[in-house]
Structure 1
Amino acid sequence: MPHLRALAGRRARRRPESTSSRSTGLRLAATATLAASLAFVTACSDDSDGGGTTPTATGSATAQSLLGAVDKASGEPIKIGLITDGQSVVANLTIQNRVAEATAKWLNEHRGGIAGRPIEFTICETDNDPAKAADCGNKMIEEDVPAVLIGTSGVGPDAWKPLGDADIPVMIFGTSDPDMLTDPATFILGDPTFGVIDMPIQVAQDEGNKKVTSIVIDVPAALHSAQDIAPPLFDKAGIGYELLRVAPGTADMTPQMQQVKSNGSDQVFIIGNDTFCISAMNGLKAVGFTGTISAISQCFSDATRKAVSGDVLEGIVVSAFAPIGTDNPSAALYKEVVDTYGKDIDLSNQDGMVMFTIASGFHAALTGLTGDITPQSITAAIKGMKETELPGAGGLKFRCNGKAHPESPASCVRGGLVTTLDDKGQPSEYKVLGNTSVED
């Protein structure tokens, strides 16, 4: 095949090694992508809801209205690489494999595939192991795929490295890896500053709050945005800012939360997994904190809802990356796709909906692509796409021309989603914030 790169013939791009991206421990990415990286920590060991799903006939009126008119792809399939963590000792993320395959069936039957040809995924699982992730990247080069999608992963940068060196286009939901954020053939479906900077600033402005303390799990990658990027942006917004680092595994955060109450903060923003956030929220209650609580979505799981009282949960503002759990068009489409084409897919699992967004977003970015399907033609088509709605993302629009965030040209989205929890810790309506149009 003309676009297969031999190892000896590839143009090697020299990139500085990123300590955070190479860490084999807990990987906490910045901003909106932080939640995506945390997902592999908080995912359940079994992502099935036990009851499966009830298939809906594609000929029904309801299915037709959501899935769209039949537009079947034909001819030789286009093999697209798909790298996921699969099932590892950390978490079971095999739901992403099943969602991707269900999404491909829908796109092939109702969206004409890619350039009229069926999409076929070539899947490689990393087992959340950096070495296996690198092997997956190299496997995709050997398989001669013209593009690769990377799901929620703790080792995404390791899988990406050989692909980046080979100029294979990659689409991923989020990452904090600096090389990926600036790579000309990488496309990221998350705003690099919204989730842990723009969102808490916006909440503070809406509520009239004067000072925010970020309560952050004390690992290097999580601290980057909170420690290095956030302070000048809060200062520019005229809002006081303080960083409180707390060690992972701290069971009782009452002493630390007393610091929050004493420093005059009227808002907190919590960054960590569910166990970490439970300790922080219960500590805030213990010291009588009455200000605004905001957090990333990975703070919340069934464990959080059981361990934190309803009077604390109610009113928490959450940055979100998948509009699950409410009645909205994105969730309705996702449900119809996986009910019709999937099996044993838990609709409440956000990693599944993230994969739906990645796969269908990749397809949407290639609308109008014709001719030979190569890494070069795919990269050019994605860069030349018009602004369009990102499927499964609650109304967010995306455009990958490098101008959404010039300092991170791989980013395709501005803004993100927020929701407010009820007293049971469940989301209410999702709102789009900061999703301004990307200029030509």
Structure 2
Amino acid sequence: MKLGLSRRRRAVAVIGAAALCTAIAATGCAGDEESNNNAAVSGAPTTALPDAPASGAPVRIGFVSTEGGAVVSLPEMREGAEAAAQYVNKNGGGIAGRPIELVVCKQQEEPTSATKCANDFVEQKVAAVLSPGTSQGGTILPIVAGAGIPYVTLNGVSQQELTSPDSAALSAGLPGTIGAMAAAAKDKGMKNFTLFASDGGGLGALADAMGAPLFQAAGVQLKVVPIPLGVPDPTPLVTSGLSGKPDGVSVIADAATCASVYKAVQTTDPAVQKVFIPVCLDPNVTGIIGMDAVTGSTGITATDYLSDRPDSVLYRSVLQAYAPSATVTGAASSGYQVVLALAGATDGIQGEVNAASIKEALRAAKGVEMPAGGGITFTCDGTAVPMLPSICSRQMLIGELNDQAVPVNLKVTG
């Protein structure tokens, strides 16, 4: 099944706000999670940071921070980025040896403030613009790209972010998420799988087009059930989707739809195996469907918060040193990852560190390990997902959900 570019654009636009929360973390769009964080990271090791300061003139790097909006405000993304920048400058040897000057601009997930940020970045002549994830990438990217500034996002949402030659979308996004579902279904020995997908902008059709070959390759039959936006009670659709007695189910939607669909699943077939995307693990969702429906299920993530891998230990250590109030399993990870990913991708720059050399380094970098990514790597040469050439990886992580709704014992998929 083929979808035209305009239809892909509509699907991508509709899931923009949901994708912002989906991609960054299970708790990224929640409120006060300090007690949950303390329980989740209890006993996870940290380490002393090395003494490797950067030197020379700083490289100005723009950072898009989602703060102050009426619908969503995620200051922890900025806190994670600032912590990562301090680590790069004091302990990590800099970007090609030079320190980062992080130029933060706060925007409220609407075009006016996003446009102002983009123009500010151009005026301040930053060498790159970083975004952990925003629904306003389609506003910001054309402005900064017009000034020759590369745009690097952890989680691309807009059509421009996913296809522009001036953009690098480091994480796997929707293709990687659906691929991870197929891998989880195969690992669990499933033969039939039902995916409930929010149907705004043709997302259901897009999920079917992407998912059918991935699930077929995994030896699993996929059924996609579209859920209309704002449907008051999805129970009849859920009942129909479960009528074939699938071995597993998942939901791609905003938190409210996740809650209503999974609540109906629990009523209709509580024993069916479940695969959760991050937004469906928001405390506002798990509080409605109950942790008993979550614990022991499979979770999809792009961040390894809790393991003993050196990059995960480093992540916790950097937050402990430079952002001690930030939630380890929350939105701070996205800001941290995008800053350190840029440092890793540009490590081989020789000579001047500027917009042109950063853009060249991004396109040349191959197999760069995602910080705190559990072994995920990215390569930004357009080959990961050819139909969306700015996506730099097909890989995600799957793992069993613990009693804090955090995936553990992670495995790389894709």
Same fold (TM > 0.5): yes
Q: Secondary structure of 1:430's match?
A: strand
Q: Percent identity?
A: 26
Whole-angstrom CA distance in 2 between matches of 1:51 and 1:205: 31
Given candidates 8, 11, 17, the residue that maps to 1:27 is 17
- The equivalent residue for 2:92 is 111
Count of residues in Structure 1 that have an aligned counterpart in Structure 2: 403
Report Cα offsets for 1:245-296 as digits up to 9, x if no partner. 2234556433222112213422212112333222222211211353321121
Is the contact between residue 415 and residue 432 of structure 1 (CA under 8 Å) also seen in structure 2? yes
Is the contact between residue 46 and residue 92 of structure 1 (CA under 8 Å) also seen in structure 2? no
Q: Secondary structure of 1:393's match?
A: coil
Whole-angstrom CA distance in 2 between matches of 1:172 and 1:163: 13
Given candidates 261, 269, 284, the residue that maps to 1:288 is 269
Is the contact between residue 214 and residue 271 of structure 1 (CA under 8 Å) also seen in structure 2? yes
Whole-angstrom CA distance in 2 between matches of 1:18 and 1:260: 27
Given candidates 144, 147, 159, the residue that maps to 1:166 is 147
**Structure 1 residue 377 displacement after superposition:** 0.9
Q: Secondary structure of 1:275's match?
A: helix
Given candidates 185, 190, 210, the residue that maps to 1:204 is 185
User: TM-score, normalization: structure 2?
Assistant: 0.86
Letter matched to residue 372 of structure 2: G
- The equivalent residue for 1:260 is 241
**Structure 1 residue 38 displacement after superposition:** 8.8
Whole-angstrom CA distance in 1 between matches of 2:329 and 2:404: 15
Moved more, 136-145 or 281-290: 281-290
| CA spacing shift, 1:50–1:244, aligned 2, 3 Å | closer
**Structure 1 residue 119 displacement after superposition:** 0.2
Report Cα offsets for 1:214-270 as digits up to 9, x if no partner. 111232274353144323444455533222222345564332221122134222121
**Structure 1 residue 300 displacement after superposition:** 0.6
Q: Secondary structure of 2:408's match?
A: coil
Q: Secondary structure of 2:82's match?
A: helix
Report Cα offsets for 1:335-382 as digits up to 9, x if no partner. 211221225212231x21011110000001111213222211111122
Whole-angstrom CA distance in 2 between matches of 1:79 and 1:264: 55
- Say if 2:279 is the partner of 1:298: yes
| CA spacing shift, 1:160–1:368, aligned 2, 3 Å | same
- The equivalent residue for 1:220 is 201
User: Mind listing any 5+ residue stretches in structure 2 that lack a counterpart?
Assistant: 39-44
| CA spacing shift, 1:35–1:266, aligned 2, 3 Å | same
Whole-angstrom CA distance in 2 between matches of 1:48 and 1:87: 20
- Say if 2:225 is the partner of 1:244: yes
Is the contact between residue 133 and residue 158 of structure 1 (CA under 8 Å) also seen in structure 2? yes
Whole-angstrom CA distance in 1 between matches of 2:218 and 2:320: 45
Given candidates 364, 374, 377, the residue that maps to 1:384 is 364
- Say if 2:107 is the partner of 1:121: no
**Structure 1 residue 49 displacement after superposition:** 6.8
**Structure 1 residue 195 displacement after superposition:** 3.7
Is the contact between residue 22 and residue 277 of structure 2 (CA under 8 Å) also seen in structure 1? yes
- The equivalent residue for 2:210 is 229
- Say if 2:23 is the partner of 1:36: yes
| CA spacing shift, 1:86–1:142, aligned 2, 3 Å | same
Is the contact between residue 137 and residue 160 of structure 2 (CA under 8 Å) also seen in structure 1? no
**Structure 1 residue 105 displacement after superposition:** 0.9
Is the contact between residue 172 and residue 188 of structure 1 (CA under 8 Å) also seen in structure 2? yes
- The equivalent residue for 1:430 is 410
Letter matched to residue 395 of structure 2: G
Whole-angstrom CA distance in 2 between matches of 1:62 and 1:116: 25
- The equivalent residue for 2:41 is none
- The equivalent residue for 2:290 is 309
Is the contact between residue 22 and residue 157 of structure 1 (CA under 8 Å) also seen in structure 2? no
Q: RMSD of the TM alignment (CA)?
A: 3.1
| CA spacing shift, 1:21–1:193, aligned 2, 3 Å | closer
Is the contact between residue 50 and residue 344 of structure 1 (CA under 8 Å) also seen in structure 2? no
Whole-angstrom CA distance in 2 between matches of 1:51 and 1:211: 35
Report Cα offsets for 1:145-194 as digits up to 9, x if no partner. 11110122222222212123333111111224333223223211112454
Is the contact between residue 328 and residue 394 of structure 1 (CA under 8 Å) also seen in structure 2? yes
Given candidates 318, 325, 344, the residue that maps to 1:364 is 344
Q: Secondary structure of 2:335's match?
A: helix
Letter matched to residue 234 of structure 2: M
- The equivalent residue for 2:335 is 355
| CA spacing shift, 1:269–1:416, aligned 2, 3 Å | same
Letter matched to residue 284 of structure 2: A
Is the contact between residue 313 and residue 424 of structure 1 (CA under 8 Å) also seen in structure 2? no
Moved more, 240-249 or 228-237: 228-237
